[in-house]
Structure 1
Amino acid sequence: MHAPRRFVSPLGWAGLALLLFLLPFALLREQSYVTLDDNLDVELTIPYLLTRHHVALDYRPTTVVEPIMNGLPRNALRPGLSVTMLLFGLLEPLPAYLVQQVLVRLLALLGMYALLRRHLLTGPTERSLAAGLSLAWAVLPFYSIYGLTVLGQPWLLYAFLNLRRGAGRWTDWLLIAAFPFWSMFVFVGPFVAVGLGLLLLHDWVAHRRWSWPVVGGVVLLLALYLVVEYPLVYSLLVAKQFVPHRLEFNLGQLGPQGWGGALKSAGQYFFMGQYHASRFFRGVILLALAVALLRRSPIAPERRRPLLVLLAALAAVAVFCGVYPRLIEPLQRTVPALGAFNLTRFHFLTALLGFIVLALSLQVLRDARVVMVLVMMQIVVGVGMNTEWLLNVRQLAGRPKRTEPNYQQFVAAPLFARVQDTIRQTTGQSPRTYRLACLGLPPAIAQLNGFYTLDSYQNNYPLAYKHAFRPLIAGELTKSPALRTYFDDWGNRCYLFSAELGKNFRVGAFQQRVVQDFAFDAEAFRRLGGRYVLAAARLAQPARAGLTPRGEFSARNAYWHLYLYEVQP
């Protein structure tokens, strides 16, 4: 007798391929490249500080996070009831980040496969196609610090489509209930609710019936989001702890200017998406759609209609996101609060909608070779546009990109420890007894290294603090209209600015930048509680800015060359 034939299922092969994709992170560990912009320069710091200062679940109005902005209200930051917060509470920042990425990508693979096999690619011969598309989904570039916000959406849609078919199983309700604890409400919560509302409206128009289980699922989802997002709801609507700086947002000044720029932006949303919500070229999706619609034997109307509806939805979202800043600008003059809510975040749904279009398009193609080529093309697009993965492969190959340092180089713990030691030896003070601000480097890196900063990059903080901070940099804002707009009409980066550095917020040691004239208000800095300026660029005339040099620091493996200045008494 022959031994039973052993084989690996298509999903198993996809899982093995995903683990191979994740291998560079496991090999590099501390030397892994981690996305810098809007990630390592802000997002990793928040759960780290909330857990290390034991205020993750402390929602009292008086609770503040001392290292941020002279004591940022705790309720201005992300909620504590999340898997992300749990991981950062158990692990150091980088291990927590990498573990979350592995878990989220594995769940993304399984979630897309479950969705496709249950609702879209249900045939016995479509397992391989479903597995290939699931792998293509799981390797997309995305911000893993947001948990399941993007790549976990297939699980949520899977559960709601199950409820739409009937009452659903307890596991469907569990999936809906779990999603708010590992996703960001402000990015997807309201927009998922709107999408599901449109699905309910379609059912009513087409069949004159409501799917009450779906209604119940939406209520459950939003109710648990309210529980998870209690700090945000309580601080803004109940206690009214502070007026958020977002009330001064002027999106029309920040985005592309004119209607031509708005339409160009719409095209970028349609063909590329948005980088927070997975930025990748949609060309393979559109190519598969075109091949499906233009094939010789016309596809049945019941298959053509969903493709056209989804394409129209993607186009409508892209146009809306592109023109929204222009539409909202005149309304903001009457209702300033409108600018605080970013309704363009419907784009967080477009990656999943695009993959549904891809799956439905490939389903109608009968040539297995064409289908295989298109799936492989999408995998290549996802991997090829995953900057984080590509830079780690370069790191393994011994060809790192100088302008994109790895985690160890960017955080540079030994270098910042030397700065702390110098201050301690000179004054006897620990970091919590003084405040500093950073020039040419993200304050988040100083915060990760134990410093308490007056500046920070935050999505939500008191408007009064923005107004109190502005005099420090007013001289530099006067010299640069671009920076003045950047701060006054947005202000999430509440930084020390230099017109000479522009928006270069990570000045590497190799750049050897020198700021000739730093128009800094040392007196205003002192009134705010500041004592030191930590700069990644040398000040040519620090005395003119009211500063005295206190040290210069460098290290072979650090990305930074730091200069320490003390405000003159």
Structure 2
Amino acid sequence: MKPLRLALLGLLIFLVPVLLLGRHGYVLIHDNLDTEISLVYLLTKLHLAFAYGAEVVLPQVMNGIPRNALRPGLSVTVLLFSVVHDPLAAYLVHQVLVRGVGLLAMYWLLRRYGLARPEQRGLAAAVALAWATLPLYSIYGLTVLGQPALLRAALNLRRGPGRWHDWLVCAAFPLWSIFVYVGPFIAVVWGSLLAFDLVQGGRAAVGRTVRGAAGLALLLALYVVVEWPLFYSLLVAKQFVSHREEFDFVRLLPHGVGVGLKEALRFFWLGQYHASPFFRGVVLLAVALVLRQLAPARRQLLRRRVGLVLAGLAGVSLFCGFAPQLAMLYQKQLPLLHAFTLNRFHFLMSLTWFMVLVLALRELPATPGAWRLAYALVGLQFVVALPLNAEYVANLRILAGVPKANAPSYAAFTAPGLFGQVKAAIYQRTGQLPPAYRVASLGLPPAVAQLNDFYTLDSNQNSYPLPYKHAFRPLIAGELAKSPALATYFDAWGNRCYLMSAELGRNYLIGQQPPRTVQHFAFDAAAFRRLGGRYVLSAVQLAHPEESGLQLLSVFSDSQAYWQLHLYEAVAPK
């Protein structure tokens, strides 16, 4: 069987646990099932993917969050969710496509640059498989895994006029990636390399510099087209002031030289959890072992090349480690720093580390012993990355019959039967369907209610109107007063616009076992009703709901659900 087909088969085997388990499998929760999946699902379910304009809102979230604060419609991810209406099925199909295209992208790069010799075809496929199975947020599309295709297109434009597929890659990458995560940073790196080329090559480099600049311009132009609602609402019409304007890094983050160095070391050795983290030691081990096998001249050349790349990675890691502290210094003078995360260069680091691995492997001689070493190193890279893939590990545990207690399956997390009971009970009591009332959740992510078609006042959002944050705060002001940590978490950040309890802390996954009780919940029911709220869906029992202006209506249980729900109604003031 051809190496590429073997790699694709290996990827399929890797994906078997999550595909086999389906609704009974675990789907990554943090910043994924509790945020991204529900919002893309709602956009497509309510046919708002392409509904733009200052007046267009997503009514099911936060009393109508502006449409322009959410994912753009010109996105392969959104298109797929539009075609596959079940959110889990769409997510799984999307993950298969993302990882499959990521594998092909890396193989396409390596067969031209890095491992281009015929006898290196199998090694290129193995590296591509290791790349495609990295732990990552597949809901971000090809933001990480598609970078090898963009790198090959850029290198092709540097070497010659480029073929149609190079320009196509530059135009297509924005359709399946997240601009705020990689767009500006790719522009900085690519632009810097173009400038370096021009300085080094002089007039001889003008042609390739112009071609490269044209490729970069095409990439950025398509990002503007895809993300036009974002650019228009923030830079042109200024549709709303984002809650990010109140980000306060001085309050939110620890600072000091020690903190910055610790973060820099984490970025260097492990990466960031959103951006395919893995232990970099295997790459350095590969470099060390290969250097021992080379003749002095080749050893010196490889040492110089790898040294330059590692120095660059160390510099980027230092910048990422200290970037939040730089933002602290200038956040008053440069308000844009509130809304823009400077250290997302880490999204480009995984590919760079893989290129270091390739630089080493390509130098190995074509002997059986050297090939065995090369495949062993790639296999080791695969193995060290797997433990950081929370989704993969949790599903293996489910298949082995030892599931993690705090890693509920998709079916248990979304609990459609349980929320159906709640919906039916409210309808029986009032004759009202979910659009007629608003809910908020305590002890569980609002995304669970959103996936069950409830209209929520709370949500986890990267950007939403600042006035809404101010209007929501009175609901939880009493609890924030009890906990300086929670007050800082909400006031200085606030992406999680949630009901909070000082007794629970930042625990938003409170299952039905063991049962939990909050003794004193300082909740402003009057402010809740003014905001349109009617019911609180609580995963915990409130010992004294009357103190909070709430009345217990019923308790709902379902053996298939992760949660036990207490339905409280905000009592109207007399």
Question: Does 2:117 correspond to 1:117?
Answer: no
1:283: which partner in 2? 281
Question: Does 2:12 correspond to 1:12?
Answer: no
Question: SS in structure 1 opposite 2:274?
Answer: helix
Counterparts of residues 215-254 of structure 1 (less than 5 Å): 215-254=213-252
Question: CA deviation digits over 1:382-417, x for unaligned, max 9?
Answer: 223222111111112222112100101100011001
1:534: which partner in 2? 537
In 2, Cα distance between equivalents of 1:428 and 1:296: 79
1:376: which partner in 2? 379
Question: CA deviation digits over 1:158-210, x for unaligned, max 9?
Answer: 11111111111111111111111111001011111111112212211321223
| Superposition deviation, residue 294 in structure 1 | 5.2
| Superposition deviation, residue 9 in structure 1 | 1.5
Match of 1:512 among 508, 512, 515: 515
Counterparts of residues 316-335 of structure 1 (less than 5 Å): 316-335=315-334
CA RMSD in angstroms comes to: 1.3
Could you tell which deviates more after superposition, 165-174 or 329-338?
Answer: 329-338
In 2, Cα distance between equivalents of 1:12 and 1:384: 25
In 2, Cα distance between equivalents of 1:296 and 1:94: 50
1:24: which partner in 2? 17
Instruction: Say if 2:242 and 2:465, in contact at 8 Å, map to a contact too.
Output: yes
In 1, Cα distance between equivalents of 2:177 and 2:333: 33
In 2, Cα distance between equivalents of 1:205 and 1:252: 39
Question: SS in structure 2 opposite 1:120?
Answer: coil
| Superposition deviation, residue 302 in structure 1 | 4.6
- Long gaps (5+) in structure 2: none
Structure 1: which 4+ aligned runs deviate by more than 6 Å? none
| Superposition deviation, residue 301 in structure 1 | 4.9
Question: Does 2:419 correspond to 1:433?
Answer: no
1:4: which partner in 2? none
Instruction: Say if 1:140 and 1:278, in contact at 8 Å, map to a contact too.
Output: yes
1:342: which partner in 2? 341
Aligned residues: 562
| Superposition deviation, residue 252 in structure 1 | 3.8
Question: SS in structure 1 opposite 2:537?
Answer: strand
Counterparts of residues 519-558 of structure 1 (less than 5 Å): 519-558=522-561
| Superposition deviation, residue 295 in structure 1 | 5.0
Seen in structure 2, the aligned counterparts of structure 1 residues 252 and 353 have a Cα distance that, compared at 3 Å, is farther
In 2, Cα distance between equivalents of 1:520 and 1:445: 21
Instruction: Say if 1:415 and 1:554, in contact at 8 Å, map to a contact too.
Output: yes
Give the structure-1-normalised TM-score. Answer: 0.97
In 1, Cα distance between equivalents of 2:142 and 2:222: 15
1:189: which partner in 2? 183
Question: SS in structure 2 opposite 1:334?
Answer: coil
Instruction: Say if 2:171 and 2:218, in contact at 8 Å, map to a contact too.
Output: yes
Query: Amino acid of the residue matched to residue 424 of structure 1?
Result: Y
| Superposition deviation, residue 81 in structure 1 | 0.6
Question: Does 2:304 correspond to 1:305?
Answer: yes
Instruction: Say if 1:256 and 1:265, in contact at 8 Å, map to a contact too.
Output: no
Question: Does 2:401 correspond to 1:407?
Answer: no
Give the structure-2-normalised TM-score. Answer: 0.96
In 1, Cα distance between equivalents of 2:248 and 2:353: 30
Instruction: Say if 1:256 and 1:262, in contact at 8 Å, map to a contact too.
Output: no
Query: Amino acid of the residue matched to residue 290 of structure 1?
Result: A
- Long gaps (5+) in structure 1: 1-7
Question: Does 2:494 correspond to 1:494?
Answer: no
Question: CA deviation digits over 1:435-490, x for unaligned, max 9?
Answer: 11111110011011000011100000011111111111111111111111111111
Question: SS in structure 1 opposite 2:60?
Answer: coil
Question: CA deviation digits over 1:76-99, x for unaligned, max 9?
Answer: 111011111111111110000000
| Superposition deviation, residue 255 in structure 1 | 3.1
Question: CA deviation digits over 1:337-372, x for unaligned, max 9?
Answer: 312110111100000000000110122234223222
Query: Amino acid of the residue matched to residue 259 of structure 1?
Result: V
1:396: which partner in 2? 399
Instruction: Say if 2:291 and 2:299, in contact at 8 Å, map to a contact too.
Output: no
- Identical-pair percentage: 58
Question: Does 2:450 correspond to 1:452?
Answer: no
Question: Does 2:69 correspond to 1:66?
Answer: no
